[in-house]
Structure 1
């Protein structure tokens, strides 16, 4: 049942984003920012953690989950370091994921030889 819940929640998030992209004139970069910010806001008001507990990777893998990780890191750092944690907590919490994305993207670019579109 865990796989099913992850599938339908993640699919619902992706479907809503696709509708947002198709029905508005928002550029993909702005939609990505909206997703991360909405993950932070939903985490701040306590609504996103129950969703990740229920759906697992279906809620933590989309960009809203990245917003949740940023919020958790900032909250923990603010509790420990005060106002300075506002600036350092998000970087500390998501550094492994961002580093992995950069490294694997670089390896992929070496393997597949990307080209610019004409």
Structure 2
């Protein structure tokens, strides 16, 4: 049942994003920012953890999990470092995922030889 819940919740989130792309003039970058901000807001309100418990990877994969991760990192860093934690927490919490994305993008650029759009 865990796989089923992850699949349908993740699919629903992706379908809603696709509807936003098709029916509105929102650009993909803005939709991604909306997902990250939604994850942070759900985390702030305490709704993300029960949602992630139910949906599993279906909640964390489509960028909602990144917003949750950033918020939790900032919250923990503010408790630890005070005001400076606002600037440190998100970077510390998201460093592994961001580093992996950059490294794999760099490797992919060597394999597929990217070209500029005309």
Q: TM-score, normalised by structure 2?
A: 0.94
Partner of 2:36: 36
- The answer to whether residue 90 in structure 2 is matched with residue 62 in structure 1 is no
Instruction: Give the deviation of 1:100 after TM superposition.
Output: 0.2
Report the number of matched residues.
118
3-state SS in 2 of match to 1:46: coil
Rounded Cα–Cα distance in structure 1 between residues aligned with 2:114 and 2:29: 20
Partner of 2:94: 94
Q: TM-score, normalised by structure 1?
A: 0.94
Aligned counterparts, 1:17-36, within 5 A: 17-36=17-36
Divergent runs of 4+, >3 A:
none
List gaps (5 residues or longer) in structure 1.
Answer: none
Root mean square deviation, CA, Å: 1.0
